[in-house]
Amino acid sequence: MVSVASYPRLVRPPEQSFFLFGMRGAGKSTWARQVFPEAPRFDLLDEGLFQDYLRDPQIFGRELLRLAPGQWVVVDEV
């Protein structure tokens, strides 16, 4: 396995929901994994998951309802 260098980031997570924009390969997903390690993660590059949500968007809502109120959630590759 290739080790990836970790670089300090200037961005700090806000206290409420937010979008994190940036170029591909800039480390957005890595940052989200480091800052929110326990957060449920929905990766829309997972073709099966993406197709399920296209077929029935309510699936995403039902999954969110199972989580504790106020819990961070990461939706990756929007």
Which pLDDT score is estimated for 25?
A: 87
Render pLDDT for 43-77 as a digit per residue (tens, 0 to 9): 999 999 999 999 999 999 999 999 999 999 999 98
| Residue 70 zone, left/alpha/beta (φ > 0; ψ -120 to 50; rest) | left
Residue whose tokens read 């700090």:
12
Render pLDDT for 6-29 as a digit per residue (tens, 0 to 9): 667 777 888 899 999 989 888 899
Which pLDDT score is estimated for 1?
A: 53
- Do residues 32 and 20 make contact, with C-beta atoms less than 8 angstroms apart? yes
Alpha-carbon distance values, 41 to 3, 8, 54 (Å): 22, 22, 18
- Do residues 77 and 45 make contact, with C-beta atoms less than 8 angstroms apart? yes
Averaged confidence pLDDT in the chain: 89
Give the mean model confidence (pLDDT) for residues 34-44: 94
